[in-house]
Amino acid sequence: MDSLEAIPFTIKLKVVEATETSFKEYGQVIDVSSDGQEFGPSDAQLDLSRGTPRFYIMHLEDQQLKFSKITHHASVTQCLGSIGGQEWYLGVAKASILNTNKIGVEMGCKVVQSSCGHYYVPPAPDAVRVFRVVGPKFLKLNIGTWHAGPLFKMKTMDFYNLELSNTNVVDHTTHEFCKEDNVVFLIDE
């Protein structure tokens, strides 16, 4: 390690249970519903209109309870849930996509243009939260919600993931807290 490099500051995040109320600024918590129930506000309010939907099972390994990068998607709502309802965690920050780069400048914010073309304000370290998800439910992320994870204690887990077929190719913007803010996050369990 170069002697001039600063050691990143570790921010310990207190875990919040993901509920309809606690998660509403970031998206929705979708819980079990009765068969035959008609579509309503407790169902995932999806926007898959900008491409071909992709629903798949994602296998993850060694997703420790720490992170230094966070990502958003500007063109799709995304749904994540564990296969089998095991406990998992998701770091999040509110969406910060701008309609134009002038809005952020007028507000006195740092404005960045994503390699995907849109403008956004990078998430502040003090705006990051972490949620715990347990049981047969999934999270629907609003368009632009910053997210890190899924993270978990087990060695491996499988998750279902609903996004667009090309989300990770053409709609993947990442903010590196370690590089930009000299911080890393640790889930305080």
**How many helices, marked H, and strands, marked E, lie in the chain?**
3, 16
pLDDT given at position 1: 47
Which ranges of the chain have pLDDT less than 70? 1-5, 101-107
- Structural domain boundaries, residue 76: 18-29+52-188
CATH code of residue 79: 2.60.120.480
Q: What is the CA radius of gyration of the chain?
A: 17
Residue type, 84: G
Q: How many CB atoms lie within 10 A of CB 55?
A: 11
pLDDT given at position 100: 73
Q: Taking the model in full, what pTM does it have? A: 0.92
Residue 130 lies inside a defined structural domain of this protein: yes
pLDDT given at position 18: 98
Residue 153 lies inside a defined structural domain of this protein: yes
Residue 80 lies inside a defined structural domain of this protein: yes
At 83-130, the pLDDT tens digits run: 999 999 999 999 999 987 566 565 678 899 999 999 999 999 999 999
Residue 86 lies inside a defined structural domain of this protein: yes
Alpha helices (H) along 10-166:
101-107
How many domains are there within the chain? 1
Residue 39 lies inside a defined structural domain of this protein: no
Residue 149 lies inside a defined structural domain of this protein: yes
Locate tokens 């949620």: which residue? 131
Residue 142 lies inside a defined structural domain of this protein: yes
